[in-house]
Amino acid sequence: MKLISDRETQGRAARFLVVGGASFAVQVAVMKMASDVVGLGANGAFTVSFGCSTLTHYLLNRFWALPSARVDTGRQAKEYLGTAVISWVINLAVFRLCLDGLGLGKVWATAAAVPPSTVVVFLLLNYRVFRAGAGGGGRRS
């Protein structure tokens, strides 16, 4: 696939996967704490853990994995939030399918929910939200 054949994109993809692993670790830890310690139900624990994971994901991507020259940071943050909503919808649907339909536990269902959205999220973040080489084309918000 030509989109990921250049070295810069490959490096960005590798860093993106590291960020994904770190964000997943945060999500699993918060999921276990929210459900086992705090006592939230499956949807509540999933949503809280997804929020913590998303914040980790944003910060690590914005400042390390997918550095961007965009100066319209307000718009960029809104685009990231839109991407996060798309990711949440995909993740929650797969989580519920694995939890209810396949009978997996919460942690395994959470793990199974991550891969389906990874490609979509990488493409949106790499080529739109945190695009490389985006000069000063946007205004600062």
Whole-angstrom distance, CA of residue 20 vs CA of residue 133 = 22
Question: Which positions ≥6 away from 135 have C-beta within 8 Å?
Answer: 69
> Which position has the token pair 């830890």?
29
User: How much of the chain is helix, strand and coil, in % rounded to 5?
Assistant: 80, 0, 20
* The pLDDT value given to residue 36: 92
Question: Structure pTM?
Answer: 0.72
Most confident residue range from 42-46, 85-89, 96-100, 134-138: 96-100
Domain boundaries, the chain: 7-129
Whole-angstrom distance, CA of residue 26 vs CA of residue 14 = 19
How does pLDDT run across 33-49, given as a tens digit for each residue? 999 999 999 889 988 99
Question: Which positions ≥6 away from 105 have C-beta within 8 Å?
Answer: 99
* The pLDDT value given to residue 128: 84
